[in-house]
């Protein structure tokens, strides 16, 4: 069984690989921001399509937006 730490590292590596692969297909800055936003929210355990879309659209307007700004309060703590 994987430790929590190694699971997090593996997940981040997968996210980075997915982002790199997506960026070969999506080349505009907005497309890359959209991909980053979706991967970031998904990495934090969010599966609600509405939340994914909301975060993705907002992050295209504000690249400093954090997952905590969209996810319900305390959600990230529950996932850690």
Full 3-state SS string of the chain: CCCHHHHHHHHHHHHHHHHHHHHHHCCCHHHHHHHHHHHHHHHCCCCCHHHHHHHHHHHHHCCCCCHHHCCCCCHHHHHC
Terminal Cα-to-Cα distance of the chain (whole angstroms)? 17
pTM score, whole prediction: 0.35
Higher pLDDT, 1 or 47: 47
Residue ranges per structural domain of the chain: 4-79
Chain-centroid distance of CA 51 in Å reads 11
Residue linked to tokens 């309060």: 73
Encode pLDDT of 20-75 as tens digits: 777 777 777 777 777 777 777 676 776 666 766 676 666 666 666 555 555 555 44
């Amino acid at each position: 069984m994987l430790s929590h730490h190694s699971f997090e590292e593996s997940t981040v590596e997968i996210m980075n690989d997915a982002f790199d692969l997506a960026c070969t297909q999506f080349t505009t800055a907005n497309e890359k921001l959209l991909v980053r936003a979706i991967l970031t929210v998904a990495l934090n355990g969010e599966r609600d399509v509405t939340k994914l879309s909301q975060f993705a659209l907002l992050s295209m307007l504000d690249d400093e937006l954090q997952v905590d700004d969209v996810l319900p309060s305390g959600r990230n703590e529950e996932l850690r």
